[in-house]
Structure 1
Amino acid sequence: MSIDKENQITDDIMDKIVKGEIGTGEKLPSENELADKYRVPRMTVRHALLKLEERGYIYSKQGKGRYVKEAAIPIQLSLTGKISFTEKMNQLGFELKTSNIYCEKIDYDAEVYRILGTARGEAVFKIGRLRVINGEPIAIHNSYVSESSFPKIEEEGPAIQSMFSYYRKQGFKEFSSRQTMLSITFPTSKEQRLLSCKSMVPLIKVESDCIDAESKQILEHTKILYRSDKFKYDITMD
């Protein structure tokens, strides 16, 4: 019975936040006030509020209470592979900062190797960049690149912030992509730290390839993790 009440409270408050009946930055009633309102024990209310925190709808201020998080920022994503994320965000006027967070050789991954057309004995590197917009971490971009295609990738990879810029320096000019796949996942502990999110905040995972438009060579396989609690994504094709 308490679980049903807990879910009812969670759904009710979440619905009010989504509809704007409880505004951005607004302080929620105290646990005691909510317990009286819903006629349940205080612990039931606490569990419901913790769920809302995990889902990214509210946050706590030590000794002050719980507040509604700011409204989601609308972001237009390009799924065509013709323009880089950096270029797209700059065009839209966002303050984008990118940090290269790792360049590491991966263990054999049959799917990634197949997509890249790389033999099992050859090296593939994963280059990760953390994207931050207006001071908020938005995404982790992982690019899988074969050493056979880019012999200096181990050396040059740690300095890369934009893969498109890197490819242009290698002589490639125009880019396209094949099939783009979207799915939902949840963050690992490392991804939680990087994206400043809770374990139950869903991440949107976008998987695609970057292809040289002229030669049709596959330059990379890409896996991008986007936070779903701080942003709304427009995926309308350009």
Structure 2
Amino acid sequence: MVQAELQHLKIAEYLIDCISAGVYKEGDKIPSENELCRQFGTNRSVVRQAVARTASLGWLTSWQGKGSFVNQRPRLVPYNLSSSTCFSDNMNNQGIMHSCKLLKCVKRQPTEKEKYYLQLDRESSVYELEILRYVDRCPISVTTTILPAEKVPQLEKHLNNFQSLYQVMSGYYHLKPRRFKSVFQAMLPVTSDAELLHIPENVPIIKIESFVNHLDQPVEYSNSRIRGDMQKGLITF
């Protein structure tokens, strides 16, 4: 049992390596089950497990009676993370087509954690925004952002034709957001995020919690979930 498990992982790794190296290109049909059985000296059950695993990770699509074909791979996007960068500026500086969609904007009472992070008192309220961002029309990240309502009064009035949160913060509220801390974590997505990002639930994401100040006062706490297969981070010190 253990040997079969290891063998199907080995075959899946081989297929992914071949696709990554361009041996099998987008739209190509990979070798048949029989060919892979002969190549690796194993049975069809093990090969099917390997192909199913490769497909579940987004590399292949299998069609009954036709075989398995290489999927289009998403663009790998470099992202420069520094104290002053924002998504729009990052993409514009690289000439990358991007867009975003505001999924939610609600005004509510903060949680205890949000009160602590944003240094809020008992009577304060916050705005919660959820933003889905795209690169080349492909979803790359979903971000939940918490803002103190007193810093961005009547925020909902400035979100028509929403393109960039930092443009709103600087243009309407004269804030100069500066990221002072970010916490990274690799993890698997929850179902709702996987659906928004168009990925299987077993494809890892990068979670980034960011803490942002304006003139040394907390002005934003955000939680971004980013597709691990689309982003390459660059941290500037």
Indicate the TM-score class for this superposition, using the shorter chain for normalisation.
0.7 to 0.9
* Change beyond 3 A, Cα 1:106–1:70: farther
What stretches of structure 2 of length at least 5 have no aligned partner?
none
SS in 2 for 1:73: coil
For the aligned residue pairs, the C-alpha RMSD in angstroms reads: 2.6
SS in 1 for 2:80: coil
* Change beyond 3 A, Cα 1:155–1:232: closer
Question: Which whole-Å CA distance do the structure 2 matches of 1:47 and 1:105 have between them?
Answer: 48
Residue correspondences, number: 235
TM-score by length of 2: 0.85
Question: Which whole-Å CA distance do the structure 2 matches of 1:82 and 1:44 have between them?
Answer: 50
Question: Which whole-Å CA distance do the structure 1 matches of 2:39 and 2:165 have between them?
Answer: 54
What stretches of structure 1 of length at least 5 have no aligned partner?
none
Q: Which moved more, 1:116-125 or 1:81-90?
A: 116-125
SS in 2 for 1:235: strand
- Percentage of pairs with the same residue: 23
Q: Which moved more, 1:47-56 or 1:92-101?
A: 47-56
1:151 aligned to 2:147?
Answer: no
* Change beyond 3 A, Cα 1:87–1:37: same
1:233 aligned to 2:232?
Answer: yes
Structural mapping, 1:2-151, within 5 Å? 2-60=4-62, 64-104=66-106, 109-151=111-153
Question: Which whole-Å CA distance do the structure 1 matches of 2:100 and 2:64 have between them?
Answer: 31
TM-score by length of 1: 0.85
Question: Which whole-Å CA distance do the structure 2 matches of 1:11 and 1:47 have between them?
Answer: 12
Report the alpha carbon displacement of residue 9 of structure 1 after superposing the two structures with TM.
1.4
Question: Which whole-Å CA distance do the structure 2 matches of 1:106 and 1:50 have between them?
Answer: 44
Q: Is the 8 A contact 1:181 1:208 kept in 2?
A: yes
Question: Which whole-Å CA distance do the structure 1 matches of 2:172 and 2:61 have between them?
Answer: 46
Show CA shifts across 1:70-89 (max 9, x none).
Answer: 45523232322413211221
